[in-house]
Amino acid sequence: MDQGPSRKRPRASHSLSRQQSQVPIRPPFTETDQERLGARVARITASCGFPFRWVENEEWLAFLAEFIPGATPISRRQLSGQYIPQEVAKIRARAKEAAHHKLATLQLDGWGGINFHHFLAFMITTQDRKLHTVKVMDTSADRKTAEEVLRLINLVWNTLRTEWGVILVAITTDASGETKKARRLAIEANPSLIAPDCWAHQVIVYVPV
């Protein structure tokens, strides 16, 4: 007996299941990811001049919770005691490697902070025109004499020779009385050096900005 054309039941749609299966699954936030986050936060802190307490700011913590839910918030103590020192060590190692066996000019400059601390920064410019910070010293309690500046120059010079493998050929500072005298004393002890005035300071003196 002819029952007419067979009627097939329509197949159930599984589009919802397919859509759900296509939703990307967020990979777990690993210990390596946490270390990378800490390193990046340390660099942001230094680059932007943020105070350490910014990592505990409510908006930053909300940002982490919303966009990086697997991350563990970084505390001020971790930032200052762990992540920033780690990044400084990496940068210092790369600087030493880049400057090794290079000719260099030692330059130093001082400044005072709003907290009445005085700092003296020692840097080198190598023959390939790369600038590297060698040491920043808090000299607030030190006497501001040429002999004391010379002592610090010799200390940094020894560090450059023994730890950096740098060949020092020149020393430059501003033209103030004590630092200029310190350069003169350095030249008397090491005639192979040259010691010009820093022209960046001269430009600022004669061309106000």
- DSSP alpha helices (H): ranges in 49-104? 58-67, 76-78, 84-99
pTM of the shown model = 0.74
Regarding predicted confidence, which is higher, 205 or 95? 95
- pLDDT bin (cut points 50, 70, 90) of residue 113 is confident
Q: Is residue 65 part of a domain?
A: yes
Contact 125/144 with Cβ under 8 angstroms?
Answer: no
Angle among Cα 72, 86, 47 to the nearest 5 degrees reads: 80
Q: Is residue 24 part of a domain?
A: no
Q: Tell me: do 117 and 183 sit in the same domain.
A: yes
pLDDT tens readout for residues 77-99: 999 999 999 999 999 999 999 99
Q: Tell me: do 111 and 86 sit in the same domain.
A: no
Q: Is residue 6 part of a domain?
A: no
Enter the DSSP assignment of 192: T
Q: Tell me: do 179 and 122 sit in the same domain.
A: yes
How many independent structural domains does the chain possess? Answer: 2
Range of the domain at 176: 100-206
The arithmetic mean of pLDDT across residues 107-117, rounded, is 86
Spell out the residues 6+ positions from residue 53 whose beta carbon is closer than 8 angstroms to its own.
76
Provide the phi-psi class of 101: left if phi over 0, else alpha when psi is between -120 and 50, else beta. left
